[in-house]
Amino acid sequence: MLTITDGGSLSRALALPIAFRLKQLLIDRRDQLGGDIVDIARFIVVQPGDSPDALKQELSFSVFQNPADDTWFGDSEFAPGWEWLADHGHTFELVFIFDDSGFAHVALIENSQGVDPELLKLCGLYVTDQV
């Protein structure tokens, strides 16, 4: 799992041997956000072998739970707690904004073998944007 909180950690992530399309998505987001992301967004990259519990620890909340009403994925009343979820084909992008500051928590979940199947199922069922 990669956690990217500022320009330095983004540069280090881009130097790693990660998929080209994921690197390009990170570069695109950096450019869209105007450069250093330190006060704008935090990116968590979920890779094969990373557990949903590790993602929960990094985000301080579970993507499987709606923080507004405490429903869980699988409950009949469940509605996701993110602002939007995009399917880039190779990666799902979940964006969470919890206050008026506009600061975003962005989970980038690689759509590949070895990623938790329940996490991929959640993303596949609730995708709102095909990119």
Q: Given this model, what pLDDT does residue 9 score?
A: 93
pTM passes above 0.85: yes
Q: Given this model, what pLDDT does residue 36 score?
A: 76
- pLDDT per position as a tens digit, 49-60: 999 999 999 999
Pairwise CA distance, residues 18 & 11, whole Å: 12
Unique residue bearing structure tokens 């301080």: 60
> What average pLDDT does the segment 95-121 reach?
93
- Torsion sign (Cα): 26, 79, 56, 61: positive
Number of domains in the chain: 1
Domain that holds residue 68: 2-130
Residue 72: pLDDT over 90: yes
* Sheet with 104-110, side-by-side order of all strands: 2-4, 41-46, 104-110, 91-97, 84-87, 129-130
Q: Given this model, what pLDDT does residue 117 score?
A: 97
- Torsion sign (Cα): 39, 92, 69, 2: negative
Residue 40: pLDDT over 80: yes
